[in-house]
Amino acid sequence: MSELTSLTIAQAREKLASGAISASELTEAYLAAIEAANAQFNAYIKVTPDKARAMAKASDERIAKGEGGALEGIPLGVKDLFATRGVHTQAASNVLDSFEPRYESTVTSNLWADGAVMLGKLNMDEFAMGSSNETSYYGPVVNPWRSRGSNARLVPGGSSGGSAAAVAAHLCAGATATDTGGSIRQPAAFTGTVGIKPTYGRCSRWGIVAFASSLDQAGPIARDVRDAALLLKSMASVDDKDTTSVDRAVPDYELAIGKSVKGMKIGIPREYRVEGMPAEIEALWQRGIDWYRDAGAEIVDISLPHTKYALPAYYIVAPAEASSNLARYDGVRYGLRVEGGDLRDMYEKSRAAGFGTEVKRRVMIGTYVLSAGYYDAYYLKAQKVRSLIKRDFEQAFAAGVDAILTPATPTAAFGIADEDMAADPVKMYLNDIFTVTVNMAGLPGMAVPAGLDASGLPLGLQLIGRPFEEETLFQAAHVIEQAAGRFEPEKWW
């Protein structure tokens, strides 16, 4: 890691503004880091050096004129789920073979309008369906972290595995990501980075390839809490092009950092103490509780009784919405086409060749639960359970809880091609057990690195907030960051 790529966004912003470094120098440092190391990680599936250099040059010109934006000259990676004009956008799927949109997603438009520089498109689980980045058409991403004394390759989590790995390995200053059931927070926890999924409706979904529309939200993965605040400020907006974009001004999240949590009520949900949870995760959680108590917060035990039903309800709602959203991949309008005897044969062959195993599995589940005679038993029931999950949180917040503290994941990062996970899809799904409730209730959730396990792998804690109170999460997350310190993988690449 060069000196330039070790700067946080906040540090780089200062040096760029003062003229100590140029945007072009900073971009060149990241391009060199990608060139040297991406083959090891497979984090980027498309690097855009020409575009990056042109954007950096434009940034330098704006800085010279005193017209620099909030993220002027900051080099970012973009998850392949975001439409980027004229640039590879395939949701890491073969079904979108060669797709280059003629439009730009609202979230990335916001970032470029603030002066950020695009380095390229980041690997992910196909259509964001996965918790290990192994379902990508482009192959798995390798976690920059390794167990102490081992060379075994570990997953970075998923679906935003490329984003998390690239941030942790300093192959970008920060990255865009998306979270439908934990896809920002779980990879952040697995890589020692900070990830926030804001409230549903905070970031526009326009131009983001849809997976499960009632759950999908964009958010950043960054190296520290402040950088996450800077990125979210730019990504979030009110957008007429998304009817679920909520009409509320975007606050300056950075101002919340450093505020005392004295008197804040932190809820500890007893249902998150799950059977078989490793003692290290339990101890980490307790450490988090102690940090808040020491900082003057009030710790309250709370109950979220429907927690255990969130994951089964999710595995009805998300596949149902996915089967509907993914109906558009028909070999006619874009992407892969495999010719067949007639139209239907062409559809079936194109989709069979274009979708990977996990995507097919979820489209099949979704089609089944929505098929005639089963809608009430599955989808309607799951949406009712979802109301109960949301009510649990509302009751906790009504009792005065400001934020809820939980572990982010039930384990640290596991191995690539883990046999237990491969043999049982449900086992892989259990990775999201602590994160999925937040999507079901539409709440903001944030993963913050909080320690290392016995083998030296990062572990994260999760903070859950009231709707649109992301500021409280930044305020509270900073306490963990101050107490735990920051974590960087030992460089082996």
Rounded to a whole number of angstroms, the minimum distance from the CB of residue 300 to another protein is 25
Contact with another protein (CB under 8 A) among 424, 482, 485, 491:
424
Q: What gap in Å lies between CA 199 and CA 232, rounded to an integer?
A: 11
Residue pair 232/198 in contact (Cβ under 8 Å)? The answer is yes
Number of residues that bind another protein (CB under 8 A): 77
Q: What gap in Å lies between CA 478 and CA 338, rounded to an integer?
A: 51
Applying CB under 8 A, does 407 fall inside the site for another protein? no
Strand locations in 206-282 (E): 217-222, 265-269
Residue pair 41/144 in contact (Cβ under 8 Å)? The answer is yes
By beta-carbon proximity to another protein, the closer residue of 18 and 243 is: 243
Question: Which of the residues 163 through 202 are near another protein (CB under 8 A)?
Answer: 199-201
Question: Which of the residues 425 through 464 are near another protein (CB under 8 A)?
Answer: 425-426, 429, 440-442
Rounded to a whole number of angstroms, the minimum distance from the CB of residue 441 to another protein is 7
Rounded to a whole number of angstroms, the minimum distance from the CB of residue 379 to another protein is 9
By beta-carbon proximity to another protein, the closer residue of 289 and 388 is: 388
Q: Count CB neighbours of 290 within 10 A.
A: 12
Q: What gap in Å lies between CA 72 and CA 77, rounded to an integer?
A: 15
From 59, 93, 109, 183, active-site residue: 183
By beta-carbon proximity to another protein, the closer residue of 380 and 454 is: 380
Q: What gap in Å lies between CA 145 and CA 222, rounded to an integer?
A: 16
79 is catalytic: yes
User: DSSP for 385-454?
Assistant: HHHHHHHHHHHHHHTT--EEEEES-SSS--BTT-HHHHH-HHHHHGGGTTTHHHHHHT--EEEEEEEE-T
Per-residue binder mask for another protein (CB under 8 A), 21-60, x = binder: ----------------------------------------
- Token output for 283: 């101890």
Cα separations in angstroms, 129 against 92, 102, 212, 252, 311: 10, 25, 10, 32, 14
Where b means 16+ CB within 10 Å and e means fewer, 316-327 reads bbbbbbbbbbbe
By beta-carbon proximity to another protein, the closer residue of 137 and 347 is: 347
Rounded to a whole number of angstroms, the minimum distance from the CB of residue 357 to another protein is 9
By beta-carbon proximity to another protein, the closer residue of 78 and 363 is: 363
Contact with another protein (CB under 8 A) among 25, 58, 94, 100:
100
Residue pair 55/31 in contact (Cβ under 8 Å)? The answer is no
- The torsion defined by the Cα of 455, 460, 461 and 464, in degrees rounded to 10, comes to -160
Question: Which of the residues 327 through 366 are near another protein (CB under 8 A)?
Answer: 327, 330-337, 339-349, 351-352, 355, 360-361, 363-365
Question: Which of the residues 201 through 230 are near another protein (CB under 8 A)?
Answer: 201, 214-215
Please list the helix, strand and coil fractions of the chain in percent, rounded to the nearest 5, in that order.
45, 15, 40
Applying CB under 8 A, does 69 fall inside the site for another protein? no
From 79, 121, 233, 265, active-site residue: 79
Applying CB under 8 A, does 377 fall inside the site for another protein? yes
- Token output for 447: 């993963």
By beta-carbon proximity to another protein, the closer residue of 57 and 88 is: 88
Residue pair 311/429 in contact (Cβ under 8 Å)? The answer is yes
Residue pair 34/120 in contact (Cβ under 8 Å)? The answer is yes
Question: Which of the residues 242 through 301 are near another protein (CB under 8 A)?
Answer: 243-247
214 is catalytic: no
Rounded to a whole number of angstroms, the minimum distance from the CB of residue 418 to another protein is 17
From 136, 159, 245, 323, active-site residue: 159
41-49, 369-377, 408-416, 473-481 -> range binding another protein (CB under 8 A): 369-377
Contact with another protein (CB under 8 A) among 138, 190, 315, 393:
315
Strand locations in 6-62 (E): 44-47
Q: What gap in Å lies between CA 183 and CA 197, rounded to an integer?
A: 9
Per-residue binder mask for another protein (CB under 8 A), 379-398, x = binder: -xxxxxxxxx-x--------
Rounded to a whole number of angstroms, the minimum distance from the CB of residue 178 to another protein is 16
By beta-carbon proximity to another protein, the closer residue of 37 and 336 is: 336
By beta-carbon proximity to another protein, the closer residue of 13 and 351 is: 351
Contact with another protein (CB under 8 A) among 323, 406, 435, 462:
323
183 is catalytic: yes
By beta-carbon proximity to another protein, the closer residue of 2 and 244 is: 244
Task: Please give the single-letter amino acid code of residue 426.
Answer: V
Residue pair 108/78 in contact (Cβ under 8 Å)? The answer is yes
Q: What gap in Å lies between CA 439 and CA 421, rounded to an integer?
A: 23
The set of catalytic residues is: 79, 159, 183
